[in-house]
Structure 1
Amino acid sequence: MAQFFVVHPDNPQSRLLRQAGQLLADGGLVAVPTDSSYAVLARLDDKAAADALRRLRGLDDRHHLTLLCRDLAEIGHFARVDNRQYRLLKMATPGPWTFILEATREVPRRVSHPSRKTIGIRVPDHKVALGLIESAGSPLMSTTLIPEGEDEPLNDAEEIRQRYGNQLAAIIDSGPCPLMPTTVIDLTGEAPEVVRRGQGNLAALGLS
């Protein structure tokens, strides 16, 4: 059964985040609130955890998993970013945006798209999510917690415990978070392409 951590949204208890980080290191999946609904996280270097992440969501290997990074500098380690892309990323991070970019060799092949060699990547604007990435010591694989066969993500920790308590190592409760996934923008073409509309004001990025 999943451990349940009640963490302050503005001043996260580092002790609890370290405990959750250790569960990730041990191969577990952790549900965490973000600036756009709950996400389920796993270690980037853990193949079994990546497989469990996909099973929990009912995803195949063509679905982009997303890397949650601590900052813009870390993005550049895992994705190829040119000057045009960098300007947009600088405006948008941290925030409720997921960007599709060409993956570098630092990204395991099982995480990137099998044919396009691309990766979803973002920096969340949420202290608890960022604190957990910091405790883990590296970017984390993630996917929005949308139940298989449904369209809406989850944002209530107690409901997540009832539905997924046997599949998760931990659930972090920091109070309510938005009930909308990130906006996904593909930056691999000549112009940015909005793949999914969600949280965030596209006009603020000069997009529509």
Structure 2
Amino acid sequence: MLRWDPRGGEEGPRRKGPIRGGSEAVTPEIARAVEVVRAGGVVGLPTDTVYGIGVDPLQEEAVARLFELKGRPPARPIGILVASLETARELGEIDGYALELARAHWPGALTLVVHARVILPDWVGDRNARTVGIRVPAHPVALELLEAAGPMSVTSANLSGRPDTMDDTEARAVFGDRVHYVPGSCPGGRPSTVVDATGPRPVVLRRGPVDI
């Protein structure tokens, strides 16, 4: 169930509702992680590919903190993880072959770079091209967090250019207490396949677990 309301009206985008995932209350670990996200903090989370760190994409300072933590150049946009295809289509233009790819491979290790919808702030994704990478991960812990917190800007939990981390212990060795960690490991061990879906045909930007 989506708990993220991008329509914020005069008060701007906002988060809504109690911290719940689906029909059941979330675990204490997820509830605490949601509190950190809503407060503008950075949360570490396991995914189906590599361990990640993420923030609330609606908070510009939080997104900037993510770049700073990694030492990531601003020219390399950070993508968004969401809990469902429905949510992804609210944030990006996913139609035609992009929709076919999403239906075939989500949840899974495929990131689609698509045109961002106007509800996304310009600091999310590539602000010049107005595109954003979106993915639905196939990991129960990540999905529980995303269902409770809403979409998150997420990147791999490593310093830019350094090896990926595969669990919260490895990530903690990199970032220490600057991140709140959700325990868990990552079965995939490889970053997602990235496909540019903004043109007339798909273009593979990074090869990964999903063959296109």
Task: Give the TM-score normalised by the residue count of structure 2.
Answer: 0.83
Instruction: Tell whether the 8 Å contact from 2:83 to 2:147 is kept in structure 1 after alignment.
Output: yes
Task: Map 1:108-123 onto structure 2 (within 5 A).
Answer: 108-123=121-136
Segment of structure 1 superposing worse, 64-73 or 153-162: 153-162
1:83 CA displacement: 2.4
1:43 CA displacement: 0.5
1:176 CA displacement: 4.7
Name the amino acid aligned to 1:196: R
The Cα RMSD (Å) is 1.6
Aligned to 1:95: 108
**2:36 equivalent among 23, 32, 39:** 23
Task: Map 1:189-208 onto structure 2 (within 5 A).
Answer: 189-200=199-210, 202=211, 207=212
Task: Map 1:26-65 onto structure 2 (within 5 A).
Answer: 26-65=39-78
Take 2:28 and 2:177, find their aligned partners in 1: how far apart are those partners?
Answer: 24
> Residues 112 and 176 (structure 1 numbering): CA distance in 2 closer, same or farther, change over 3 Å?
closer
Instruction: Tell whether the 8 Å contact from 1:30 to 1:40 is kept in structure 2 after alignment.
Output: yes
Task: Map 1:139-178 onto structure 2 (within 5 A).
Answer: 139-150=151-162, 152-168=163-179, 170-178=180-188
Q: Are 1:66 and 2:76 matched, yes or no?
A: no
Hey, which bits of structure 1, 4+ residues long, moved more than 4 A? none
Instruction: Tell whether the 8 Å contact from 1:61 to 1:110 is kept in structure 2 after alignment.
Output: no
Instruction: Tell whether the 8 Å contact from 2:190 to 2:209 is kept in structure 1 after alignment.
Output: yes
Runs (5+) with no aligned partner, structure 2: 1-24
Helix, strand or coil: the match of 2:190? Answer: coil
Aligned to 1:6: none
Take 2:27 and 2:177, find their aligned partners in 1: how far apart are those partners?
Answer: 25
1:65 CA displacement: 1.2
1:172 CA displacement: 1.5
Name the amino acid aligned to 2:160: E
How many residues get paired?
188
Take 2:28 and 2:40, find their aligned partners in 1: how far apart are those partners?
Answer: 19
Deviations 1:110-162 (A, max 9, x none): 012122110000000000001011121x2111112232232x31113222212
1:13 CA displacement: 6.0
Deviations 1:30-50 (A, max 9, x none): 111100011111012111110
Helix, strand or coil: the match of 2:177? Answer: coil
Helix, strand or coil: the match of 1:85? Answer: helix
Take 2:138 and 2:167, find their aligned partners in 1: how far apart are those partners?
Answer: 18
1:199 CA displacement: 2.3
Q: Are 1:84 and 2:97 matched, yes or no?
A: yes
Take 1:176 and 1:34, find their aligned partners in 2: how far apart are those partners?
Answer: 6
Segment of structure 1 superposing worse, 19-28 or 79-88: 79-88
Instruction: Tell whether the 8 Å contact from 2:51 to 2:185 is kept in structure 1 after alignment.
Output: no
Aligned to 2:12: none
